[in-house]
Structure 1
Amino acid sequence: MNNLATRPLLGCIADDFTGATDLANMLVRGGMRTVQSIGIPTAEVAAGLDADAVVIALKSRTLPAAEAIEQSLAALAWLRERGCEQIFFKYCSTFDSTAAGNIGQVSEALLEALGSDFTLACPAFPENGRTIFRGHLFVQDQLLNESGMQHHPLTPMTDANLVRVLQAQTRQKVGLLRYDCVAQGAAKVKEQIATLRANGVGMAIADALSDADLYTLGEACAGLPLLTGGSGLALGLPENFRRAGRLRDVDAACVPLVAGGEVVLAGSASQATNGQVAAWLEAGRPALRIDPLALAAGKPVVAEALAFAANAGQTVLIYATSAPDEVKAVQAQLGVERAGALVEQALGEIASGLRAAGVRRFVVAGGETSGAVVQALNVQLLQIGAQIDPGVPATVSTTQEPLALALKSGNFGGRDFFAKALEQLAGGAQ
């Protein structure tokens, strides 16, 4: 197996940072050596790249559609230049995007650029409670629009019917690949895809109730130039390359130890992150809350946070996480975009200051927050290690002085995630 080519087989484009990490985690679990780039890699960063899969993390979920398309097509061009044989467009397992879209428009643009006429859209992630039945997305036992996602400050989701949501975002005809077809196996799915294409369908929402369904979909779609979905859909892709004799027999999850201080930074307002912050506080561990109104008033919030961390004598949590009604109250005063930008900038500056003070291990909650932190730390490429919780791996930066990071989507992780992530990062995520 040592004579296998080192060029990447699978090229992935993710619409936010933690989503990219989530996808990379899934590929590593399947045995694909995976690196994650923060934005399109420079020639210097890409030199000597040796991986089975490359995941390019963009920050395009809430951008105007034209900008999201432009960035995604640039990422596609880079991946194709490196010889990637299949492209995966990754978005959140809650299918969230702006009211004007982005999932549909970006998928459409990628399809056209690849010269293809069909792709699947499947955000299902059963391990984290996201399932799709008859085209409707469930979060645990609740419809998407009753799960708390209807209150998301940036991308509220008020409709669980994904066929309807996607159709509003694209000129392509949107269809449905139903659960009873998926249950009959990959051959039946291929037949149904052929029927959908013959009927002019360009994108199809795929039902999935279990990991077995996702493996079936992955196998059936081995020949599609483009797949789109949540990280769950990537479960079956490594095996396609393994069956073809294209993967090396190595430990894909091995990453180095990183020594130094540690911190938890949380900016997400999701239910899961609120629970994780509450668990930290209930344990009596030191924490400092960032007030967006104080930031807007020009108070020295960042300096106070750095002083708090320096004087605590133990690992601290610095957070802006709030309940939905509190978030709305702040947004009413500052505006949605300004409120979010103030918090992201502050947490990025805090991360940078902590790094200067010797912190080398960062646990970060929230997609937007993670994006701000990795940019502030000038992290450009991540090696993906072992899973901490479903959808969240340990990672280590591969440029400059190494940093260990756990970048968590707001909705992911158990209530004890912060403590678990700190323990795994300290142990090298082996």
Structure 2
Amino acid sequence: MRLAYYADDFTGATDVLERYTLAGVSAAVFLSPPEPAELAAYPGLECVGIAGSGRIVGIQELEREWLAALSALTGLGAALVQYKVCSTFDSSARVGNIGHALAVGSRALAQDVVPVLGGCPHLGRYCCFGNLFATYGLDGRTYRLDRHPSMSRHPTTPAREADLVRMLASQTSLPVRSLPLPQLEDLDATLATAEPGLLVVDALTDEHVGAFGRSVLGRAQTPYLVAGPSSVAVGVAGLLGRTPLPASTVDPEPATVVLSGSRSPVTAEQLSHAESAGFAVFRTSATGQAVRALRDGVPVIVRAPNDQGHGSGARIRRALAAAARRIHRDGFARRFVVCGGDTSTSVARALGVRSVSMLARLADAVPLCTARLDDGSTIEIAFKGGQMGAPDLLVDAAGSATPAAARSCPG
């Protein structure tokens, strides 16, 4: 097993899972370091991912979780280990501290230079001279990250700085440097001779991503740490010589429940589109009514409470996790879609998810997965980042809806 990664939320973990699976690489994601029996359920596994909660926790909890994952992944024989971050580098000094996590990993592996891929072109994320730009799903325009209409207003980690060198330097005592596009051809030599610290590498195109993949894969003879979004997997997977898999279609499933903690305008449009198409909408306080709608064959949306005060993120996650447990316990939901990176890991844990593998592709970076639960059963589940997907994504996830049966309850 040569490839491994730790993702700081579940949406990111399944994004990488999709990249490797579609490239023909056998991959699975676990919620904690996997036991031998769990690994045995996936014969021929080439890539192991661990979905963590690093994006929403403080430094001490992040360090404990990350070091446990890193130890487990290197113990499985992984030569290349990715610290997977959101493509918009959601992070702050207090919550989801990427710089600190990479410093911890660097010390644990005694690795002087940690390369960080800044761009993720296939998702509309571009890094140029160390500055990150992101395309906005509602208007199709590309903004510098600190001026992005959604990410600059993120409820947990608003983007205040687009310069990844400055952002990461504010989070760690390690030196942080960049390798701009004009010097990208020197990446191999730079990795071999650079002073210790973090090296942010520009990427605007798939060719830049491929160059990064070649350089880091060539250095992965012993456990080697890299960081970045799912473009790291894109760059690496293309070099492995596997036969790409066709993306499977999603079968209709009216017994679909959407659990949304996302405040992204992109998700808001998707929720509105789904409601217009016949989904019944409930707050977490009306979970019982949501169960009855599912029993009647109506797909449902369960939304987070209107809570934007101090600590609201944690309250929203707890409310959605409790709703997920109740709905699953009653047995009428056969497919779950979880919206929001901050929400994803909490809901997965509440459902008792132990591992997931890709089943089909809903949208770019939003695979539909088969999840194995701790009681031995399985469910279908997708984890959607707030910025991901077209307006009809949730309708596509259910395959159909019944407008005449649509109803809404504010809870």
TM-score category, normalised to shorter length: 0.7 to 0.9
Pair 1:34-2:44 in alignment: no
Structure 1 residue 142: Cα displacement: 0.6
Quick one: structure 1 residues 304 and 315, their matched pair in 2 at CA, closer, same or farther if it must change by over 3 Å? closer
Q: Provide the residue aligned with 1:346 in structure 2.
A: 319
Contact 1:18 1:409 in 2 (8 A): yes
Give the whole-Å Cα distance in 1 for the aligned partners of 2:87 and 2:323.
Answer: 29
Matched residue of 1:208: which SS? coil
Structure 1 residue 48: Cα displacement: 4.8
Structure 2: tracts of 5 or more residues without a match:
136-141, 401-411
The aligned runs of 1:13-412 (5 Å cut-off) are 13-50=6-43, 51-100=45-94, 102-140=97-135, 141-147=142-148, 148-182=150-184, 184=185, 188-195=186-193, 197=194, 200-222=195-217, 223-224=219-220, 225-242=224-241, 251=245, 261-290=255-284, 300-310=285-295, 313-320=297-304, 330-332=307-309, 335=310, 337=311, 339-355=312-328, 356-399=330-373, 400-412=376-388
Contact 1:26 1:231 in 2 (8 A): yes
What letter corresponds to residue 103 of structure 1 in structure 2?
I
Give the whole-Å Cα distance in 2 for the aligned partners of 1:279 and 1:48.
Answer: 38
Give the whole-Å Cα distance in 1 for the aligned partners of 2:144 and 2:257.
Answer: 35
The aligned runs of 1:403-422 (5 Å cut-off) are 403-422=379-398
Q: What number of residue pairs does the alignment pair up? A: 384
Structure 1 residue 240: Cα displacement: 3.6
Give the whole-Å Cα distance in 2 for the aligned partners of 1:258 and 1:115.
Answer: 49
Q: Deviations over 1:15-74 (max 9, x none)?
A: 111111111111112221110001222444234543110000011112111221111111
Deviates more, 1:140-149 or 1:366-375: 366-375
Structure 1 residue 252: Cα displacement: 9.1
Q: Deviations over 1:71-118 (max 9, x none)?
A: 111111111111111111101111111333620111111111112111
Give the whole-Å Cα distance in 2 for the aligned partners of 1:259 and 1:281.
Answer: 16
Q: Deviations over 1:235-271 (max 9, x none)?
A: 12124443xxxx6x68597899898832122111112
Contact 1:263 1:363 in 2 (8 A): yes
What letter corresponds to residue 102 of structure 1 in structure 2?
N
Matched residue of 1:404: which SS? strand
Contact 1:97 1:103 in 2 (8 A): yes
RMSD value, Cα? 2.5
Taking structure 1 as the reference length, what is the TM-score of the superposition? 0.82
Contact 1:285 1:316 in 2 (8 A): yes
What letter corresponds to residue 46 of structure 1 in structure 2?
L
Matched residue of 1:331: which SS? coil
Structure 1 residue 352: Cα displacement: 2.2
Structure 1 residue 420: Cα displacement: 2.0
Give the whole-Å Cα distance in 2 for the aligned partners of 1:265 and 1:153.
Answer: 18
Contact 1:175 1:201 in 2 (8 A): no
Quick one: structure 1 residues 45 and 281, their matched pair in 2 at CA, closer, same or farther if it must change by over 3 Å? same
Structure 1: tracts of 5 or more residues without a match:
1-7, 291-299, 322-326, 425-430
What letter corresponds to residue 340 of structure 1 in structure 2?
G
Identity of aligned residues (%): 30
Contact 2:304 2:316 in 1 (8 A): yes
What letter corresponds to residue 10 of structure 2 in structure 1?
F
Contact 1:10 1:54 in 2 (8 A): yes
Matched residue of 2:28: which SS? strand
Contact 2:287 2:302 in 1 (8 A): no
Matched residue of 1:221: which SS? helix
Give the whole-Å Cα distance in 2 for the aligned partners of 1:309 and 1:387.
Answer: 23
Q: Provide the residue aligned with 2:138 in structure 1.
A: none
Moved over 6 A (4+): 252-260
Matched residue of 1:87: which SS? strand
Give the whole-Å Cα distance in 2 for the aligned partners of 1:418 and 1:386.
Answer: 14
Give the whole-Å Cα distance in 1 for the aligned partners of 2:348 and 2:177.
Answer: 38
